[in-house]
Amino acid sequence: MLDVVTPLGENDLVITLISGGGSSLMSLPGGTLTLDQKREINKSLLRSGAPIHEINTVRRHLSAIKSGRLAAAAHPARVITYLISDVPGDDPCLVASGPTLPDNSTPAQALEILETRDIEIAPGIRQHLTIETSVPKPSGVEFERDESFVLAKAADALEAAQQCAHMLGIDGRVLGDDLEGEARDLGRGHAKMAPDLQNGLKHPLLLLSSGETSVTVKSQGRGGRNVEYLLGLFQALKGASGIHALAIDTDGIDGSEDNAGAIISPSCWGRANEISLSIEVALDNNDAYSFFEALDDLILTGPTRTNVNDFRAILVLPAR
């Protein structure tokens, strides 16, 4: 891609189509770094529970194409970027680590993130983050004629779900499209909210949310942030009557498994007890996938060909 855009002149136009997942698909290690070094750092960040903005900050500064470097290489050509956002807050420069859109982060901040997260830093990576100086800045002349447009985002999915619920006679309430934090803890928090709202309800209520949670991986189980969120929710609900929920990744893949997410209903509690499934063991082992697989409650969609981040819905029915 760099080879294609580098010879362009000021009368040329570059149109880029970028969505979440671009950080992985368009990888070019900076300096003398290797792909294996980047892969190990990324894996360590994911397992540490670091939020996505920290992960992307490190990715950008270990790359030779992210953080505006692709657009800088195309200069003086004009670059137009169309985006499908999968990042909380929908900052265009953060989607796919911003190959055509620079940001104000620094290599020193990337190094600080790794040190704060207690991640082992290979000498080559430390040296790269210490001496790297060629970071494009938003104020640079390379970007004066460029434009970017966000075509789809998590808020659009939540709004569509809210409208669908309304057509079915269900009240829809959006809790936020940029929720972050430890997945299981967010699930437990939402579980505390649902029964309180149930009291006094006259119509079904759908609680909608999106964002990108984190999972601090402490074991070798199978799972992703959506099923871990759902397991935390399930644990706290304890089979409460009249409350159903699902959590999925809109690209159809939750984590590294084959499921988009999972779904729960009040009957899951009894079914889990019947086959001696332990929520605590599943959480301790980061093994939410196996838990919901045993209940036959995984959601399998295959790739959806889009990605506006996670989608979570809790249906609260009036108390009987």
Residues 6+ apart with CB under 8 A from 3: none
Characterise 229 by phi-psi region: left (phi > 0), alpha (psi -120 to 50), beta (else): alpha
pLDDT tens digits, the chain, 320 residues: what are they?
999 999 999 999 999 999 988 888 889 999 999 999 999 999 899 889 888 889 889 999 999 999 999 999 999 999 999 999 998 889 999 999 999 999 889 999 999 999 999 999 999 999 999 986 678 889 999 999 999 999 999 999 999 999 999 999 999 999 999 999 999 999 999 999 998 899 889 999 999 999 989 999 888 899 999 999 999 999 999 999 999 999 999 999 998 899 999 999 999 999 999 999 999 999 999 999 999 999 999 999 999 988 999 999 999 999 87
DSSP per position, 37-100? HHHHHHHHHHHHT--HHHHHHHHHHTBSSTTTHHHHHHTTSEEEEEEE--STT--GGGGGG-SS
Q: Which residue has the tokens 């009957």?
A: 267
Distance separating alpha carbons of residues 293 and 276, to the nearest angstrom: 14
The CATH fold of domain 2-152: Rossmann fold (3.40.50)
Under CATH, which architecture does the 154-316 domain have?
3-Layer(aba) Sandwich (3.40)
AA identity, residue 161: A
CA dihedral 64→69→70→73, nearest 10 degrees, is: -100
CA distances from 51 to 84, 131, 304 (A): 20, 25, 24
For the chain, the structural domain boundaries read 2-152, 154-316
21 closest CA partner among 49, 48, 59: 59
DSSP state of 305: S
Distance separating alpha carbons of residues 190 and 4, to the nearest angstrom: 48
CA distances from 34 to 28, 30, 57 (A): 9, 8, 18
